[in-house]
Structure 1
Amino acid sequence: MQYTRRKYPIGIQTFEKIRTGNYMYVDKTEYIYRMVHADSNYFFLSRPRRFGKSLLTSTLEAYFQGRKDLFKGLAMEQLETEWTEYPVLRFDMSLGKHMEKEQLERYLASQLEPMEHKYGILTESPDANIRLTNLIRRAYEQTGRQVVVLIDEYDAPLLDVVHEEKDLPVLRNVMRNFYSPLKACDPYLRFVFLTGITKFSQLSIFSELNNIKNISMLPEYAAICGITEEEMATQMDEDLDILAGRLNVNREEAVQKLKDHYDGYHFTWPSPDIYNPFSLLNAFADGRLDSYWFGSGTPTYLIEMLKKYNVLPQQIGGRKAMAESFDAPTERMTDIAPLLYQSGYVTIKGYSPITQLYTLDIPNKEVRLGLMKNLLPGYLDRRTTDGLTTVALLYEAIYEERLDDALRLLQTFLSTVPYCDRTDYEGHYQQMLYVIFSLLGTYVDVEVRTPSGRVDMVMRTATTLYVVELKLNQSATAAMQQIDLKNYPERFVLCGLPVVKVGINFDMERHTLKDWVIAN
Structure 2
Amino acid sequence: MGRKLPGIGIQTFEKLIKEDCLYIDKTEFVYNMTHGKSNYMFLSRPRRFGKSLLVSTLKSYFEGRRELFKGLAMEHLEKEWTVHPVLHFDMSTAKHAGEKDLILELERKLFQYEKMYGREEADINPNQRLEGLIKRAYEQTGRQVVVLIDEYDAPLLDVMHEDENLPKLRNIMRNFYSPLKACDPYLRFVFLTGITKFSQLSIFSELNNILNISMLPQFAAICGITQEELETRMRTEVEYLAEQLGVTYCETMERLKAHYDGYHFSKQSPDIYNPFSLLNALSTNDIASHWFGSGTPTYLIEMLRRFNVQPSDIGGYDADAADFDAPTEHMTSIVPLLYQSGYITIKGYDNILSLYTLDIPNKEVRIGLMRSLLPNYLHEYTSRGNTTIAKMYGFMLKDDIDGALLLMKTFLGTVPYTSNTDYEGHWQQMMYVIFSLLGAYVDVEVHTRNGRVDMVLRTANKLYIFELKLNKSAETAMQQITLKNYDERFALTGLPVVKVGINFSRETKNIEDWVIE
Residue of structure 2 aligned with 1:173, choices 171, 174, 184:
171
C-alpha deviations, 1:156-177, integer Å up to 9, x for none? 1111122322122211111111
- Pair 1:160-2:149 in alignment: no
- 1:298 deviates by 2.7
What amino acid is the match of 2:296?
T
Distance in 2 separating the partners of 1:488 and 1:384? 33
Secondary structure in structure 2 of the residue aligned to 1:382:
helix
The residue that corresponds to 1:271 in the other structure is 269
1:339 counterpart = 2:337 = yes
In structure 2, the partner of 1:391 is: 389
CA offset at residue 301 of structure 1?
A: 2.4
The C-alpha deviation readout for 1:206-264, integer Å capped at 9, x for no partner, is 44211100000000000000000111111111111101101111000000000000110
The 3 A distance-change label for structure 1 pair 481 and 337 is same
CA positional deviation for 1:205: 5.3
Among residues 325, 350, 353, which one is paired with 1:352 in the alignment? 350
Q: Aligned residue for 2:185?
A: 187
Q: How does 1:30-49 map to 2 (within 5 A)?
A: 30-49=28-47
Report what 2:143 is aligned to. Answer: 145
Residue 71 of structure 1: aligned partner: 69
In 2, Cα distance between equivalents of 1:184 and 1:356: 37
Per the normalisation by structure 1, the TM-score is 0.98
Aligned to 2:289: 291
Distance 1:60 1:296 in 2: 26
Say whether the 8 Å CA contact 1:9–1:24 is kept in structure 2.
no
2 CA distance for matches of 1:430 and 1:101?
Answer: 43
- Report the Cα offset of residue 281 of structure 1: 0.4
Q: C-alpha distance in 1, partners of 2:303/2:173?
A: 24
Displacement after TM superposition at 1:122 (Å): 5.5
Does the 8 Å contact 1:180/1:207 carry over to 2? no
Counterpart contact for 1:172–1:204, Cα < 8 Å: no
Shift of 1:190: 0.4
The secondary structure found in structure 2 opposite 1:333 is coil
The answer to whether the Cα contact below 8 Å between 1:381 and 1:420 also exists between their aligned partners in 2 is no
Quick check: 2:264–2:270 contact (8 Å CA) kept in 1? yes
The amino acid that maps onto 2:487 is: P
Aligned residue identity for 1:411: K
Unaligned 5+ runs, structure 2: none
Query: Residue 282 of structure 1 is aligned with which of 257, 280, 283?
Result: 280
* Contact 1:380 1:420 (C-alpha < 8 Å) held by counterparts: no
Q: Aligned-pair distance for 1:381? A: 1.9
Distance 1:205 1:511 in 2: 52
Q: TM-score, normalised by structure 2?
A: 0.98
Larger mean CA deviation between 207-216 and 461-470 belongs to 207-216
* Overall identity of the aligned pairs, in %: 66
Q: 1:59-458 counterparts in 2 under 5 A? A: 59-121=57-119, 123=121, 125-201=123-199, 206-458=204-456
Cα distance, 1:203 vs structure 2: 6.1
For residue 256 of structure 1, what is the amino acid of its counterpart?
Answer: E
**Counterpart-to-counterpart distance in 1, 2:201 and 2:102:** 21
What is the distance in 2 between the residues matched to 1:258 and 1:206? 37
SS in 2 for 1:330: coil
How many angstroms apart in 2 are the aligned matches of 1:304 and 1:137?
42
Q: Is the 8 A contact 1:202 1:209 kept in 2?
A: no
Q: Please report the RMSD computed on the Cα atoms of aligned residues, expressed in angstroms.
A: 1.2
Task: Note closer, same or farther for the CA distance 1:251–1:398 as it changes in structure 2 (3 Å cut).
Answer: same
Opposite residue 359 of structure 2, the aligned amino acid is D
* Secondary structure at the counterpart of residue 329 of structure 2: helix
Whole-angstrom distance in 2 between the partners of 1:173 and 1:430: 43
Q: 381-390 vs 7-16, which deviates more?
A: 7-16
User: What residue identity is the alignment partner of 2:513?
Assistant: D
Q: How many residues align?
A: 517
Kindly provide the CA deviation profile for residues 21-61 of structure 1, in whole angstroms up to 9, marking residues without a partner as x.
11111100000000000010000000000000000000000
Tell me the alpha carbon deviations over residues 128-168 of structure 1, each in whole angstroms, 9 at most, x when there is no partner: 11111111111111111111000001111111122322122
- CA change 1:113–1:102 in 2 (3 A) is same
Give the Å deviation of 1:124.
Answer: 6.2
Asked if the contact 1:28–1:224 (Cα under 8 Å) also holds between the matched residues in 2, the reply is: yes
